[in-house]
Amino acid sequence: MDDLIICRCEEVSLADIKRTAHMYQCSAREVKLRTRAGMGYCGGRTCRPAVDAVLEEVTGEKPGNDIPLKVSPPVRPVSLSTLGGSERHE
Amino acid sequence: MSNHRIMDHPVLGKLEKTEEITFIFDGKSYTGFKGDTVASALLAHGIRQLRVQEESGNPRGIYCNIGHCFECRVTINHVEGVRSCMTPIEHNMVVESGRLQPVPFKSTEADKLPRTYAEFERGLHKEDDPHV
């Protein structure tokens, strides 16, 4: 069960997150910064609720939207050419 | 041509024949039907691995299949990070799977480093440390 991968982008397992949360008794945000869970390509869209849930179980931290693992725009990863400029420059 | 595609579904009925489209995945030519996404066309050929995790090399493929998780991202016509589950196949499309990337050096003593400035001042400050 602990081999379960929570963050697939950065390949962080449930065991990694539990160990970090137990060792440092820290916030979800600190777990994110220590393990990189939620910092991958998808921007934490996939694993954020799972990381929040593990943290709530270990430290009792309630998921919020202010400092811990907040959601920031853009909604999806976009290339800079989407935001402006029509030509691709490699 | 493909033996993983459901041609006759108990609820949805028979699959209507549509235009065949040929595209290239990792140098090999595959055929799908018009309306297939890159991921579904490859799945019909039994190909489930679309990329590897960049650091570990563990296989990755379709995960959410609704464009949410970016697990199925591939390189299409030299554009990186395209979701194969959201991209319909086109004639002569060149699709490449995600590869292993070089890994930067990792700190082996991350646990010994101070977590806050107060900890830094208490513990690690050394007189002859050139970085202080």
Residues of A in contact with B73 (CB under 8 A): 41
Confirm whether A37 is domain-assigned. Answer: yes
Whether CATH 3.10.20.440 fits B8-96: yes
Check which CATH number belongs to the domain holding A23 and give it: 1.10.10.1100
Confirm whether A20 is domain-assigned. Answer: yes
Q: For residues B97 and A71, which has the higher predicted lDDT (pLDDT)?
A: B97
Confirm whether A84 is domain-assigned. Answer: no
Confirm whether A50 is domain-assigned. Answer: yes
CB contact under 8 A, A8 and B69: yes
Cβ atoms B7, B15 nearer than 8 A: yes
Confirm whether A83 is domain-assigned. Answer: no
Q: Which residues contact B49 (CB under 8 A, 6 or more apart)?
A: B59, B60, B61, B97
Cβ atoms B5, B53 nearer than 8 A: no
Residue-wise pLDDT for B86-112, tens only, equals 999 999 999 999 999 998 777 777 777
- Residue B124 reports pLDDT greater than 70: no
Residue-wise pLDDT for A28-67, tens only, equals 888 888 999 988 888 888 888 898 888 888 888 776 656 5
Mean pLDDT, to the nearest integer, of B17-26?
A: 94
How many domains does the structure of chain A reveal? 1
Confirm whether A86 is domain-assigned. Answer: no
**Alpha-carbon torsion (B86, A82, B23, A9), positive or negative:** negative
From A11, A34, A41, residue closest to B70, measured CB to CB? A41
Domain span holding position A67? 5-74
